[in-house]
Amino acid sequence: MAGHESVPFRQARPSAPGRSPRVRPALPRRPVALPAPAVSARRDRRGRGLRTPLLPENLPASRTRAEQFDQAVLEAVAELEEQWPGRLETLEFAVDDVPIVPADGPEPPAPDVVLDGGVPLSRFVPPGIDGRGRPTKARVVVYRRPLEARSTDSGDLGDLVIEVLGEQLSAVLGDPGTDAEAP
């Protein structure tokens, strides 16, 4: 096949005699709203992740370490509420992953910090005013990672959290039997 001979199936069909070719007006295309596919919250980006959780939600192994630690802190606060009845209502309890350690070395001992080898395990933050000018409650911050590193199992972790919080509250509120003024 020499030259530019056209292929028969690509030739334009002649229009019927007496008819002009039909011209469609150009309309703007509207975006078509497709229904969103129902995607499980536990799937990964490409949809090949887990379809169901590995363990039922009611089993302890289905919770993350952070969730288990939060539960241990809640249980410790409930237990310590019996020792300081009505005095823990003025405090907030918070959990942070790791403390900020100064670059120049371990933190010096202070009454508002519970230390172990220069690493803070918990810290007391007095009441004050936040960035928006609102008053804040006094807060006890418990650091998760240092306490997890010092415990051998979950039972030991619960005991350690109770011990650290008890030591922190004794430094802030005084001994459990005394009626010292709350912060």
Ranges of each domain in the chain: 60-100+108-126+137-173
Token pair belonging to 71: 């539960």
CB 180 within 8 A of CB 133: no
Question: Which pTM was predicted?
Answer: 0.64
Q: Which residues of 147-170 are buried (b: 16+ CB within 10 A; e: fewer)?
A: bbeebeeeeebbebbbebbbebbb
The tens digit of pLDDT for each residue in 158-167 reads 999 999 999 9
d(C-alpha 75, C-alpha 80), whole Å: 9
- At residue 127, the 3 state secondary structure works out as coil
Domain 60-100+108-126+137-173 has CATH 3.30.2010.20: yes
User: What residue has token string 């606060």?
Assistant: 77
The tens digit of pLDDT for each residue in 114-160 reads 888 888 899 998 898 888 989 988 999 999 999 999 988 878 999 99
Q: What is the identity of the amino acid at 26? A: A
